[in-house]
Amino acid sequence: MNDETGRLEFSDDKGASRSTWIAAALVVAIVAWMGSGFVFPEEKAEEQISEPEIAPVAVTVETSSARPVTLYFQAEGQAQPDRDTQVRAESSGDVAEVLVAKGQEVAEGAVIARLSATKADADLSRAREELTRARREFENASELLSRGVATADRQAQARATLAAAEAAVASAEDALDSLNIVAPFAGRIETLSLDAGEYVQAGAQVGRIVDNRPLTVAIQVPQQALRRIDNGQTATVNFITGEERQGTVSFVGTSANAETRTFLAEIDVPNADGAIPAGISAEIRIPTGQAQAHFVQPSTVSLSPEGRLGVKTVAEDDRVVFTPIQIVRAEINGVWVVGLPEAARIITVGQGFVNAGDQVRPSPAPHAAEPAEAPAEPSAPPSTGNPPAVDDAVGQAPAPAPAPAATSAKPTQAPGTAQ
């Protein structure tokens, strides 16, 4: 077998290269189509897109003018008696008789009870006899000395004996008087633990007497308001029983309580008839001065992003201005604030939708209920048992107002929507 007959030969298939050319043509077509946008860009007029102009937010404003208002320091205290003391027995002995009853009014020096005087009378009689004998001996010694038959020493001894006898008589008389248990001052017998025939020791507590004419109302004054409270100021005191009295500041402390950092103050309240009992609670209002203030609704008060209390007003150019304020007095239907200008347009509706500097469309508010003039005294809030509020420019705690709306972010509600 020769080499020419044993060699294998292969020939190309003419249809195999056709698909390769088709694929290459498609790639070129696609690249050409994609590049045509850069080579021949489409000429179109650029449309000017303009944002629609936002209309100013509609708000309701109320024009307010500053008026003089009296500032008050307000606190709660407790009525205390003018004098309150324990009655004690001065001597030991059996109770002979009790002359008063618990709850009875007594005058100063009135006898409350008497102890048995049997032993005291005997001691007084003996002391008086000794006094008579000592006086006679002194007289005899003096006469003998004048005759020259006695010495001066004997007379001096007789004089000393006489002085001792006089002291014994005085002591016996005092012991007899001390058997009477008397009232140290006029007042009311609050407690009395004595019965006839009972034995009491000297110094034992047998009763308690209270004088509540006048009453003393004790209050605690915070550090911030101390300089506004002085002796002699007039105070209005409303007792929990319903009585109202006028009192006078009689004492203001100069040393703070170590725990509360408050100062004790006392108000004397006349109570000639004794109708107001001691120990009851009382609300005290003390006028501390005047200020030019605006009367606003609590709902208009808000907080700035920095946390400052203030009111949103509208300036002459209809832009919002946030003005910091300070509450100086609270009423049932509003609060008196300082910090605003003499006249201000206060936003009463819509203040929650605007921030300082925003352009607004103000409209006047309908007539709102407001005091015609600053009242002479603040309305007394209902008793809640909470710590005292202070309606004072420098007081410890202004009367509470509803939580103000924060203005740190704008709402998502469409502008001009009713609040």
Count of C-beta atoms within a 10 Å radius of residue 383: 11
Note whether 204 and 198 are within 8 A (CB). no
| Spatial separation of the C-alpha atoms in residues 234 and 220, rounded to whole Å | 17
Mean pLDDT of 126-150: 87
Parallel, antiparallel, or unpaired for β 111-115 and 93-98? antiparallel
Residues in the chain: 419
Using a pLDDT cut of 70, give the percent of the chain over it: 79
Question: Does 32 or 383 have the greater pLDDT score?
Answer: 32
| Spatial separation of the C-alpha atoms in residues 48 and 259, rounded to whole Å | 72
* 158 inside domain: yes
Domain count, the chain: 3
- pLDDT classification of 381: cutoffs 50, 70, 90: very low
- pLDDT classification of 386: cutoffs 50, 70, 90: very low
Identify whether residues 237 and 268 lie together within a single domain: yes
* 117 inside domain: yes
* 332 inside domain: yes
Mean pLDDT of 244-271: 94
Considering only 102-106, 140-144, 360-364, which range has the smallest mean pLDDT? 140-144
Question: Does 395 or 38 have the greater pLDDT score?
Answer: 38
> Which of 148, 173, 206 is the C-terminal boundary of a domain?
206
Identify whether residues 233 and 190 lie together within a single domain: no
Note whether 165 and 131 are within 8 A (CB). yes
Identify whether residues 186 and 225 lie together within a single domain: no
CATH number of the domain bearing residue 326: 2.40.420.20
What pLDDT digit, counting tens, does each position of 143-188 carry?
Answer: 888 887 778 888 888 889 989 999 999 998 998 889 999 999 999 9
Q: In sequence order, which residues have a C-beta less than 8 Å from that of residue 254 and are 6 or more positions away?
A: 263
In this prediction the pTM is 0.59
Name the percent of the chain in helix, strand, coil, to the closest 5.
Answer: 20, 35, 40
- Side chain identity, residue 174: D
Question: In terms of residue numbers, what domain contains 102?
Answer: 84-206
Extract the tokens encoding 79: 């009525």
Beta bridge partners, 338, equal 326
CATH number of the domain bearing residue 101: 2.40.50.100
> Which of 154, 189, 206 is the C-terminal boundary of a domain?
206
pLDDT of residue 80: 94
- pLDDT classification of 140: cutoffs 50, 70, 90: confident
Identify whether residues 190 and 156 lie together within a single domain: yes
* 418 inside domain: no
Extract the tokens encoding 154: 């004997």
* 414 inside domain: no
Q: How far is CA 117 from the centre of its chain?
A: 56
- pLDDT classification of 400: cutoffs 50, 70, 90: very low
* 131 inside domain: yes
Please count the CA atoms within 13 angstroms of the CA of 300 that sit on its side-chain side: 31
**Is the per-residue pLDDT at 249 higher than 90?**
yes
Question: Does 175 or 19 have the greater pLDDT score?
Answer: 175
Collapse the DSSP code of 136 into the 3-class scheme (helix H, G, I; strand E, B; otherwise coil) and give the result: helix
Of the candidates 304, 302, 283, 315, which has an alpha carbon nearest to the alpha carbon of residue 391? 283
Identify whether residues 120 and 218 lie together within a single domain: no
What rounded mean pLDDT belongs to the chain?
Answer: 82
Q: What are phi and psi of 170, to 5 degrees?
A: -60, -40
* 166 inside domain: yes
pLDDT of residue 34: 76
> Which of 162, 182, 206 is the C-terminal boundary of a domain?
206
Identify whether residues 242 and 306 lie together within a single domain: no
* 322 inside domain: yes
Beta bridge partners, 343, equal 65
Q: In sequence order, which residues have a C-beta less than 8 Å from that of residue 18 and are 6 or more positions away?
A: none
**Is the per-residue pLDDT at 382 higher than 90?**
no
- pLDDT classification of 255: cutoffs 50, 70, 90: very high
CATH number of the domain bearing residue 249: 2.40.30.170
| Spatial separation of the C-alpha atoms in residues 62 and 59, rounded to whole Å | 10
Of the candidates 78, 309, 105, which has an alpha carbon nearest to the alpha carbon of residue 213? 105
Identify whether residues 302 and 385 lie together within a single domain: yes
Identify whether residues 196 and 216 lie together within a single domain: no
Considering only 63-77, 142-156, 338-352, which range has the smallest mean pLDDT? 142-156
Identify whether residues 178 and 242 lie together within a single domain: no
Identify whether residues 303 and 397 lie together within a single domain: yes
| Spatial separation of the C-alpha atoms in residues 180 and 194, rounded to whole Å | 13
Q: In sequence order, which residues have a C-beta less than 8 Å from that of residue 99 and are 6 or more positions away?
A: 110, 111, 112, 113, 114
Start-to-end CA distance of the chain, whole Å, equals: 111
Collapse the DSSP code of 20 into the 3-class scheme (helix H, G, I; strand E, B; otherwise coil) and give the result: helix
Identify whether residues 137 and 164 lie together within a single domain: yes
Identify whether residues 269 and 202 lie together within a single domain: no
Mean pLDDT of 195-223: 93
pLDDT of residue 384: 36
| Spatial separation of the C-alpha atoms in residues 198 and 218, rounded to whole Å | 39
Q: Which residue has the tokens 């009763």?
A: 207
pLDDT of residue 186: 93
Note whether 318 and 359 are within 8 A (CB). yes
